[in-house]
Structure 1
Amino acid sequence: MRRGRLITIIGAIFAVVGLVLVSVAVTLAVTTASFLGSAERVDGVVVEMTAKTSTSRDSHGRTRESVSWYPTVEFSVDGRRHSFRSSTGTNPPMYEKGDVVPVAYDPGDPSDAVIAAFWPAFLAPLIVGGLGVLFTPVGVVLFVKGRRSPAR
């Protein structure tokens, strides 16, 4: 296979993956913004911080562990208590037990709730979108470079 053709294929793959990631990020952001726009607001209290450990291997084959902290938030609606664990974990922990946090919940289903702050709500779209913004131009540059590569 010609070197230029290989670079063209790799570039196309990077560009397509980048565009898919950007599309997913936009969808996540719009969905989150829509939910936050229609949700009711109330203050909640962080009642627990749960550690989740993930294990990975570095390029030298060494095992690396990292810990992320996920807050469990409790809040009341019409005298009924509800709680949820945030899907966003951080290290270092973003919250401590006893912190008061803004909560957005679905008025039709208060068990559908999130911490109504920018980072917990939009961290996933920012990470996915950031990767897409990196992949897309790299892919386009490789694609164009491969297409312009002279035949041998």
Structure 2
Amino acid sequence: MHNGRPLTLIGAIFALAGLVLLGVTIAMAASTASFLASAQRTEGTVTGLTARTTTSRDSDGYLRRSTTWYPTVEFTAGGRRYSFQSSTGSNPPAYTEGEGVPVAYDPDDPADARISTFWSAFLGPVITGGLGLLFAPIGTVLLVLGRRSAKKR
């Protein structure tokens, strides 16, 4: 087996993962931007915070619990009251009960609504894009180095 093969394989996996993540990022950002471009805007109020606790095991075997807080927001559109829970949570909570937040909603279906801040709307694409921008070049460099190493042998 050539010395460059494992490096080439690892590089290819990292580069491919990076490209897939960048593709996912583009799709998520385009979907969010399309929603926001056609959405109506209003002001909503945080009416509650829902805690979701996850449990995982540390490398040393200890159980670790983590709580993430998801805001529930209420707003009025067309004379009707709507409520939704944000898909973006945080720890510590990003909002407090009674706090006003900008809301974007689909005018044809006001139940389809989101908190209209940059981080609430684009956190997913920022994370996947950052990982893609990290993995793709690292994978490409490893791929090239592995190929060069294999050719030298």
Question: Structure 2 vs 1, CA of residues 111 and 18 (structure 1 numbering), >3 Å: closer, same or farther?
Answer: same
Structure 2 residues without counterparts, runs of 5 or longer: none
Deviations 1:42-72 (A, max 9, x none): 1100000011111222332332221111000
- 2:68 matched to 1:68? yes
3-state SS in 2 of match to 1:93: coil
Q: Following the alignment from structure 1 to structure 2, what is the Cα–Cα distance between the partners of residues 42 and 122?
A: 19
Deviations 1:99-139 (A, max 9, x none): 00010000000010000011100001000111111111110
TM-score of the aligned structures, taking structure 2 as reference length: 0.94
Deviations 1:63-82 (A, max 9, x none): 22211110000011122111
Q: Following the alignment from structure 1 to structure 2, what is the Cα–Cα distance between the partners of residues 29 and 120?
A: 12
- 2:65 matched to 1:80? no
Q: Following the alignment from structure 2 to structure 1, what is the Cα–Cα distance between the partners of residues 65 and 132?
A: 26
3-state SS in 2 of match to 1:149: helix
Deviations 1:4-38 (A, max 9, x none): 11110110010000011011111111110111110
- 2:21 matched to 1:21? yes
Question: Structure 2 vs 1, CA of residues 61 and 138 (structure 1 numbering), >3 Å: closer, same or farther?
Answer: farther
Instruction: State the AA in 2 paired with 1:111.
Output: A
> How many residues were matched structurally?
152
TM alignment of 1:108-123, pairs within 5 A: 108-123=108-123
Q: Following the alignment from structure 2 to structure 1, what is the Cα–Cα distance between the partners of residues 145 and 63?
A: 37
Q: Following the alignment from structure 1 to structure 2, what is the Cα–Cα distance between the partners of residues 111 and 3?
A: 57
Q: Following the alignment from structure 1 to structure 2, what is the Cα–Cα distance between the partners of residues 91 and 64?
A: 15
Q: Which residue of 1 aligns with 2:42?
A: 42
Question: Structure 2 vs 1, CA of residues 57 and 3 (structure 1 numbering), >3 Å: closer, same or farther?
Answer: farther
Instruction: State the AA in 1 paired with 2:88.
Output: T
Question: Deviation at 1:3?
Answer: 3.0
Q: Following the alignment from structure 1 to structure 2, what is the Cα–Cα distance between the partners of residues 130 and 61?
A: 30
Q: Which residue of 2 aligns with 1:99?
A: 99
Question: Deviation at 1:144?
Answer: 0.9
- 2:145 matched to 1:145? yes
Structure 1 residues without counterparts, runs of 5 or longer: none
Give 4+ residue runs of structure 1 displaced > 6 Å after superposition.
none
TM-score of the aligned structures, taking structure 1 as reference length: 0.95
Provide the alpha-carbon RMSD of the alignment.
1.2
Q: Which residue of 2 aligns with 1:125?
A: 125
